[in-house]
Amino acid sequence: MIGIIDYGAGNLRSVSNALDALGVTWQHVREPAALSDCTRIILPGVGHFASAVEKLAEINMMDALRAVDKPLLGVCLGAQLLFDTSDEAPGVSGLGLIPGNVALLTTRTVPHMGWNQVTPRGNNRLFDSATPRHFYFAHSYVCEPADNADIAADVTHEGATFCVAVQCGNVCGVQFHPEKSASAGMDLLRRFATC
Amino acid sequence: MLTRRIIPCLDIRGDRVVKGVKFQNLRDAGDPLERARAYMDAGADELCFLDVTASLEDRPLLLELLQRLSRVLFIPFSVGGGVRSVDDARDLLRSGADKVGVNTAAVSRPDLLNELARAFGNQCVVLSIDTRRDGDEWYVTTHGGRELTNRTARAWATEAVERGAGEILLNCIDTDGVRGGFELSLTDEIAALVPVPVIASGGAGSPQHFVDLFTKTGAQAGLAASIFHDGSTTPNDIKRALQSAGVEVRL
């Protein structure tokens, strides 16, 4: 059973639809107690770092997620929330599960929008192989792990190479939208759900 | 690097797909769910749904359609037509849309763009500009191309991005539905002007038109309807032509 944290995030429906298509069972998690029924957890998210932290705190999920000891996957803003801080919301604390900051993209074209080729790095639980595949992106901020060893994949956009997937122990995050990335995204979600 | 995107557009009336020429003479072009899945399977990078009637009575029908679409579409899709407020946009996003398109309402009340960006982030906000040439200048039109304003496309695109548009969908009315190729010079000018992706629309009639678009302009994406609806060309046909021409695509 995968628990999808429901705090009103915009891509909640898309994530659960993708899991349905894979035949993976899931439930919405709206309170910390419901986490105990789940073997894996997905934290979705679209929008602003500060308002997401606020909504998670309202349902007492910030501390609950910090304490969780199960595979956790953050998607898009959900991946950014895993970090300590974000330039989008100075002074607001994220989950702090992966050391580092979230910074505004400095490329000419922002948002980084569309399909880009993702190159997996190192051994990680997210990708079946080291072969680059295309995933769909729509974001203006990027995760910058303090430790390069936490980088699980990167992309190149207008000459800049940046981190788009992270893994630190049980905690993973992807800046792209696997639920909107056709077969490449489905493969990633299947792997997270089963490995 | 980002691949150039191919975006089939489905004009929706009620819960059917329709297509006209220059927004006139709408004719039935099939079932949206069936069409959308076929386009996804044939390599579409994204889909665009435009509610061409945008009537209040049809709204529940549209939202229900979006929910059905989001269960089978695992590529992003935007929805436009009749979005006048943050609440309108929220309904569409909650029903499964990834982005909302705004047009006339943003021209009438530009603050709408700031409000949408604040509520959902600018990556969710697509400003659609229907533009028509008058003399040497391109002007913005509203109400599906029926009304000409005194704003220029360049000035409006610049202002809209400052206010919070995360993408510009540039539709040239003069070329729409005529299949004689995209308007290249205006598209390139707007793409060079704004720091957000530009989607070109209007005039696609062959894979070569997309090759021209992506080799001669800075557009990030090309949108078309009739070329796909009649079954003569698939998104993958276009992408293979693009790949042969050295343009990066997702195949």
CB nearest B3 (choices: A108, A114, A140): A114
Q: Are B98 and B70 in contact (CB under 8 A)?
A: no
Query: B89 CA to chain A: closest CA distance, Å?
Result: 11
CB nearest A157 (choices: B1, B74, B95): B1
For residue A185, the enclosing domain spans 2-194
The confidence score (pLDDT) of residue B59 equals 84
Residue B231 in this model has a pLDDT that exceeds 80: yes
Range with the poorest average pLDDT among A54-68, A138-152, B217-231: B217-231
pLDDT digits (tens, 9 = 90+) for B97-129: 999 999 999 999 999 999 999 988 899 999 999
How far lies B185's CA from each of B155, B173, B181, B191, B207, in Å?
16, 15, 12, 10, 19
Residue A32 in this model has a pLDDT that exceeds 70: yes
Beta bridge mates, B25 = none
Q: Could you tell me which residues come within 8 angstroms of residue B154 by beta carbon, excluding any fewer than 6 positions away?
A: B138, B189, B190, B193
DSSP H helices, chain B, are 32-41, 59-72, 86-94, 104-108, 111-120, 153-163, 184-193, 207-216, 226-229, 235-244
Residues B235, B207: Cα–Cα separation, whole Å: 9
A162 interaction partners in chain B (CB closer than 8 Å): none
Our count of domains for chain A comes to 1
Cβ separation of B99 and A138 shorter than 8 Å?
Answer: yes
Spatial CA neighbour of A10 closest among A36, A60, A48 = A48
ipTM over 0.90? The verdict is yes
pLDDT digits (tens, 9 = 90+) for A51-98: 999 999 999 999 999 999 999 999 999 999 999 999 999 999 999 999
CB nearest B196 (choices: A109, A136, A181): A109
The confidence score (pLDDT) of residue B21 equals 59
The confidence score (pLDDT) of residue A176 equals 98
Residue where the block lists tokens 């992807």: A174
Show the tokens assigned to B192.
């060079």
Residue type at position A115:
W
DSSP one-letter string for B86-110: HHHHHHHHHTT-SEEEE-HHHHH-T
CB nearest B250 (choices: A134, A156, A185): A134
Q: Of A115, A117, A162, which to mutate for an interface test with B (greatest number of B Cβ within 10 Å)?
A: A115
pLDDT digits (tens, 9 = 90+) for B69-105: 999 999 999 999 989 999 999 999 989 999 999 999 9
Cβ separation of B3 and A115 shorter than 8 Å?
Answer: yes
Element counts in chain A: helices (H) and strands (E): 5, 12
The confidence score (pLDDT) of residue B20 equals 65
Q: What is the mean pLDDT of the segment spanning B129-145?
A: 92
Chain A contact for B196, CB < 8 A? yes
Chain A contact for B94, CB < 8 A? yes
Q: Could you tell me the pLDDT band of residue B5, with boundaries at 50, 70 and 90?
A: very high
Active-site residue (options: A76, A143, A163, A172)? A76
Q: Could you tell me the pLDDT band of residue A108, with boundaries at 50, 70 and 90?
A: very high
Residue type at position B234:
T
Active-site residue (options: A157, A172, A179, A195)? A179
The confidence score (pLDDT) of residue B22 equals 54
CB nearest B74 (choices: A46, A47, A182): A182
E strand or H helix at B9: strand B5-13
Q: What is the mean pLDDT of the segment spanning B209-223?
A: 98
Residues B206, B157: Cα–Cα separation, whole Å: 27
- What is the percent of chain B with per-residue pLDDT over 70, rounded to a whole number? 96
The confidence score (pLDDT) of residue B76 equals 97
Q: Are A94 and A57 in contact (CB under 8 A)?
A: no
B2 interaction partners in chain A (CB closer than 8 Å): 112-116, 137, 157
Residue A111 preceded by cis peptide, ω within 30: yes
Residue B148 in this model has a pLDDT that exceeds 90: yes
Q: What is the mean pLDDT of the segment spanning B154-164?
A: 98
CATH topology of domain B5-233: TIM Barrel (3.20.20)
Q: Are B30 and B17 in contact (CB under 8 A)?
A: yes
Q: Are A82 and A99 in contact (CB under 8 A)?
A: no
- In this structure, what CATH number is given to the domain that contains residue A171? 3.40.50.880
- State phi, psi for B231 to the nearest 5 degrees: 80, 0
Chain A residues near any Cβ of chain B (below 8 Å): 10-11, 13-14, 17-18, 20-21, 46-48, 108-117, 134, 136-140, 156-158, 177, 179-182, 185-186
Residue B25 in this model has a pLDDT that exceeds 70: no
**Crossing angle of helices B86-94/B59-72, nearest 10°?**
40
The confidence score (pLDDT) of residue B23 equals 57
Domain boundaries, chain B: 5-233
Using DSSP bridges, classify how beta strands A160-168 and A171-174 pair: parallel, antiparallel or unpaired. antiparallel
Asked about A139 being catalytic, the answer comes back as no
Residue B248 in this model has a pLDDT that exceeds 90: yes
Residue A138 in this model has a pLDDT that exceeds 60: yes
- What is the percent of chain A with per-residue pLDDT over 70, rounded to a whole number? 100
Q: Tell whether the torsion through CA atoms of B208, B197, B98 and A86 is positive or negative.
A: positive
Scanning every residue of chain A, which has its alpha carbon at the shortest distance from the alpha carbon of B250?
A: A134
The confidence score (pLDDT) of residue A73 equals 98
Spatial CA neighbour of A22 closest among A193, A195, A166 = A193
- What is the percent of chain B with per-residue pLDDT over 90, rounded to a whole number? 78
Scanning every residue of chain B, which has its alpha carbon at the shortest distance from the alpha carbon of A107?
A: B195
Asked about A157 being catalytic, the answer comes back as no
Spatial CA neighbour of B192 closest among A141, A107, A108 = A108
